[in-house]
Amino acid sequence: MFIAMLKVIVCSLFVSQSIAITKALDMIDLPFTNLYTMPSRAEMILKNSKKHQIEHREEVYDAYYCLLPLLRKNNVSLKLWFNEANIDIIIQELKPHERVSFARALQNISKFIEAGLKDEKYIILNSVPTKILSRVNKIQHEIDSLKLQHKNIIALAQAKHEVEFKHQYDGLGYSVHLREVRAVLKRFGIGPKDSMLGLVLGSAAWLHDIIEDTDLTYEDLQRDFNQLIALIVRGVSKVEKTEGMSSQERLRITYKLTTQHEGSRILKLADRIANVEKGLKLLLSGYPSKVSKYFQEWDLFYQSLYNPDDSPEMWAHLDRLLTDKVYAEKYIRMLLKYEHTDIICMNVFLKN
């Protein structure tokens, strides 16, 4: 009796395993070479990209880097006014005329220190005009607030995706995908140290699937976190599917919402790059992959979301992954080789 039951169990396991293998084989994409049938837009994307100059940026940097050795030599800091690690973000956030005022304020601080003064509060209050003092303070406060929220956002994302809803990504915890999207942003110079947008998107990347895949709502994010983060996340979340709505129609409506904010467009682009790279890595490693759907959706994705102001290097990279077989294979094999490092030289690939 026991042997008979054991045979039944073994047989059942064999059948289950056979079904699982069949399903896995159904997931395997077309051969890598057969995916590449579309012409590339990468050259046109890079050619039409708009280079935005930050007026008076060099004036601020000149004043700051003249001041820096004086601060260190005399053991004086600007921490009562702003965190010097945020100087790049502050410069980007200031308006052109504010940058001029900021540069002059830094020059005035240099003069006070050269005169032998070391009282930081006195130096700042007597060197910096009230308006620029307040404006930089406001930017610094926003940076601090975003950084403070970030840890809570990571904890929430992990709790919702991995603990409560048991989401997985390629058999691993869902945080793997969330980190990969954030890594794409950093790789293309939109990281938390690069700009205020990078700081916002660093948090939004952790939340980008939370409305779509958990019970949290846009209103919940609005209530608990930065308003802009909530808006960006809503913009990348698929709209609810109504009766009779096709998948294509649902995508079009979602993309229309995505286009309304730069942050949503860039985050959606980073998410798509992360998914395509992961899909191609699986395919080239001989594992089941569903990457062909991104090839099929490429025209709709591009036509719906492309904006020449949004990170042309990211757009060109995604285009080449989906249209240039040589580029894609070379890049993905490099990712596989250096999978545990963050150092990727994008310029080499974008120029070739």
Q: Mean pLDDT per segment of 10 residues, for the chain of length 352 residues?
A: 41 39 44 92 91 91 98 96 96 97 98 96 97 98 96 97 94 94 96 95 98 97 96 96 88 95 98 97 93 96 95 97 97 88 48 48
One-letter identity of residue 136: V
Model-level pTM? Answer: 0.86
Q: Which residues of 306-343 are buried (b: 16+ CB within 10 A; e: fewer)?
A: beeebbbbbbbbbbbbbbbbebbbebbeeeeeeeeeee
